[in-house]
Structure 1
C-alpha cells in the first residue's frame, strides 16, 4: 500500500505535525514526512516501529505525507494532527500578511512573528489595508531589522496605524501579541520591495513619512524634515498617552511611536449586590433613565468602556434598599483609547462633507440633481460591542422596508441585545433570531415600544434581525445596543475507549465533536455529537462506543465431526 496526503495551508503559514499515536511494522512499513509538495521534496523524517516521533514543523505552507507498507504483517497505524502556527519567514518580493483566522476573529494568547527579507540593499514597504485589534491589549510591533532587538518603528493597536511604513534595511520584523480576553478581525498587510521606487520616496525630500494625528487629538507642527519635531494635544476629555515630542531622525524614522488620546475604562475586581433590589447604574450622558449599564447580583461584570457615544464624562450611581446587604463592589478605572469608525465611503451620485471619523465627528451627504438621499437599510457587524440603528435614525424610518441585520462576535461568546430607544408603528415589526439566519430559533417579534426594558441573550456567537415596515405611518425606530459575554459550554463528552476525536469545536452551543475508532474496532452509536442551543446545555446524543470486530476465521479449538 502506498498512500499520499498533501497538507496545504495559507501561503504565509507553516505546518506543525504532532504524532498522537504510532504503531507500524518495524523496518518494512514506514511513514515519510516531506517538506514540500513533490515526491523529491526534502525529507523532514522517516519513521517506523511503535515509538511516537517528535513533532515536526515545515519551512513552507505545504507538507507531503507518504505511508508505505509491504504485504505481510499489519499494525495499528498512526494518528497525526496538524496545525498552522502563525508567523513565518517571507522572502518573496511581494506578498500579503493576514492575522490568524482572517477575515474572522483571531484567537486569544497569540505570539506570532513574521520576518520579511528582501534582497540586500532593497528596502521593504508594508501597507496597512485593514487593521483592527483590541485597544491596548492586542498589539503589533514593527521593527526595522530581522530580530526583536532591532529598532522599534511603531507599536500599533485598535485602529490607529499609518498608511504605510518603509524599512531602512532589507528586513522588517513584525510581532503580533494578543491577551486572553477579547479579539477582533485583525489585519491585512501588503509588503513589497523595490530598490528604485522606495529610495526615491525617501531621498527626494529628506523627510520622514507623515506620522499621522491621534484620534480625538491634534498635531502641533507640520515640518517633517530630518531634525524637525512635532508634538500633539488632545480634545477636551482625553489624555495624551505620551507628551514627548517626535523627532525625525537621520534614518528617516520618527524617534517614537504616535501617541494616543485616551478615555476611561472601568474594571470590576469584586461585585456582590442583593439582586434585584440593590444595583449599580453607569451613564455617560447624564441620563440614568437609559443608563449605559445596570448591574446587580454576584456575577463579576466585564470591563465597561465609557465615551463610546461622544460624551466625555461618566457617572456612577449606587442604589440599595433597606433590607439585606452584601460585600458590594471594588472598581478601578483607567484610561483607554476610543476607536474611530471606519470610513463609510461616499454613495454614488453624491458628495460628502467631512473627513474625520473619530468619536463625536459627523458626516453629511447630499445627492446630485435628480437623485434622492435614502439611508442604507440593514447592516452586518462584527465585534464585542456596538449599536444598531433603524434607517434614517434619529429621524423617522421610511415605508416598505425589509432590512436585514446580522451580528457576529468571537467564538465562545454570546450576544446580549437591549434597546435604548424603541418606537415602531403598529404593523411594523422587528424579528430577532438566535443564530446566523432566519432558520434559527425565534427569540421574539416586537412592535410599538415592546422591546423597551427587555434584554435578549443569544446561545451562540450570532444574531439575525429582520426589520419589516408597511406602507402606512412611520415612527422614530430603534437604537439597539449589543455586547458580548462568555457562553456556558456543554460538558466535555469524553472519548470512547479504543477511540479518538477527529474534530472538537469547543463545546459551545451549536458546535460539534466527531469521533472515530482505532483500527480493529467499530463505532457503535452516533459519530457526531452536537451541543444543543436553547436554554439548556446538553449533547444531542450519548457518547458512542468502540467495539472489537469479529474474527473472519474459525477457532483452531472448534470441535471436529
Structure 2
C-alpha cells in the first residue's frame, strides 16, 4: 500500500508496488510532521513501530535504486547502501550479464566511511576475482585499493561520504565475499610513496574522545617506513589513556608493532610487509599536541 497526498490529506493508494517492500527511508517519503496542523502532533505514524525514522533528504535509498531499476527495466547489478553503517555481500546481487561488474555505492550521511571485509574467498587457486574500491561515487574517482580473493583484506577509509565497490568476477571460478562499513570522523588511506600522517587538529591539541584509523598501503614486495618528527600524547602507565597503536599489517588483528604515548621525537617504525595500520585514541582528560609522521616505501627484496 502507498499513500498519495490530496489537498493536504494522505489517501491510501493500493497501486503497483513493484513487489518491493515499503520504504520509510525513501528520498520521496514525507516526514512524520508533514502537513501537521498542530505543532508537535505527527501527521504520519509508522506501523507497527511508531519510532522508526521516516523521510530523509540525503539521497536515494537502497530501495529507491532497486525500484528505479525495476520501473525502467535496468538489468544492471547495482546496489546502494545509505546510512551510518551497513553490511554487504556478494549474495546481495547477481550480474544479469556476465560482462557486467556488480557495483555497491556506500553513502554515509556525514563524516567518512571505514570499510572492512570479513571474507573474500574463491573456489580456485587460479582465481582472478577482485574488488576495486574507489574513493567517491564513480569509477572515475581515485582508486583506493584492489582487493583480491584469498589475499590480505585491509581496512580502508574514504576521504568523503561516498565509496564505490566494483566486483570483478570470472564465472569459471566462483567467488564470494562479505563485509561491513561504518562512519568515522577522522582517518585516511595512504597509497602514494611519500607522505605525512598527522593526528586531528595537528599542530593544535587533538580533541577529546577521538578514535582514528589510518592505513598505509605500499606495493607488493615493499615495506613501510614511518618517522615521527613530532609526538606528544598524554602520558600514562601502559599508555592506558591516550595512545597510538601501530600494527604490522592490514587490520586490527595484525601483530602489534607497538603502543606509544608521552613525549618522543624522531621515533622510527618499520613494517615487515606492505601494509601498516595506525589506531589513535584519546579520552576526555589531558590533550597533547598529537603526532606528525612522514612515511615512505622501501623495497623488501
**TM-score when normalising by structure 2:** 0.41
Bigger RCO of structures 1 and 2 (CA < 8 A, at least 6 apart):
2
Structure of larger gyration radius: 1
**TM-score when normalising by structure 1:** 0.24
